[in-house]
Structure 1
């Protein structure tokens, strides 16, 4: 009878050991899955931030070249005026006529 008790005790100890090992393996797997989710989320956040920065830089470049084109067109022929309307001052005397035109151009670059 003593050997049966020893065998049942050994079986119990082996069973608890295996159960503990399974629990620790399951815990490790759960932690690893959580880490993978966090890595994936960080990768998506990094990609989204990079895309936003690229879009902002592209938009700033477009605005820069747009205002450059407007300024060049306004200088070439006065039919197209840039965003701020130029102020014109005309002075006339009886002997001579003098026309003075002052044009103020402002270029605004928006960066975020």
Structure 2
């Protein structure tokens, strides 16, 4: 599976209402999700989301990212990284799923 294929697989499973586990690559969420960690995603409702939640979201209409919610205003969600980079605002329809657990590469497990 190539570096971004995991996101496509996750979108399909979440659209069917399934919980899915993926191993995203990258360092944009360092400190919360390390490169190669096993991440469990679940479908979510907009009213259940809060600042600090990590979500799989579509930004700029096409790019899928696994980043955190940094602000919520009028039903829109601002998405960004742990280093402070802001991806921008997305609608509830752009949020595909929410991270419910992370298993680090050393096999430790924690819910978030």
TM-score normalised to the size of structure 1?
A: 0.21
TM-score normalised to the size of structure 2?
A: 0.21
Q: Which has the higher helix share?
A: 1
| Higher radius of gyration, 1 or 2 | 1
Higher relative contact order, structure no. (Cα contacts within 8 Å, ≥ 6 residues apart)? 2
